[in-house]
């Protein structure tokens, strides 16, 4: 499978987000989705921001995020 072929690159993209981005919930009644660039620059965001950044990283690696996500 292609996903297993790219597993090391996928994990490296994940690690950059998991260990470099401060993931925290947004204040109540607030909903703002940052762009991947904003999340990368601020080094913080909520769960959706992290997912958008992860898919952006995969896209830059020419990896189909749908294949990874399932």
- Extract the residue ranges of the chain whose pLDDT is less than 50: none
pLDDT, tens only, 6-16: 888 889 889 98
In 1-70, beta strands by DSSP E: 22-23, 44-45
Query: Would you say the pTM of this structure is higher than 0.85?
Result: no
Q: 3-state DSSP call for residue 37?
A: helix
Question: In sequence order, what are the residues at sequence separation of 6 or more whose Cβ sits closer than 8 angstroms to the Cβ of residue 17?
Answer: 50, 53, 54, 57
CB contact at 8 A, 54 and 14:
yes
CB contact at 8 A, 61 and 9:
yes
Residue whose pair of structure tokens reads 């993209």 in the numeric block: 13
């Amino acid at each position: 499978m292609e996903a297993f072929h790219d597993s090391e690159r996928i994990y490296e993209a994940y690690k950059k987000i998991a260990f470099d981005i401060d993931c925290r919930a947004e204040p109540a009644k607030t909903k703002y989705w940052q762009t991947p660039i904003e999340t990368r620059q601020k080094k913080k965001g909520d769960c959706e921001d992290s997912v958008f950044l992860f898919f952006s990283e995969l896209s830059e690696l020419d990896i189909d995020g749908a294949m990874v996500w399932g």
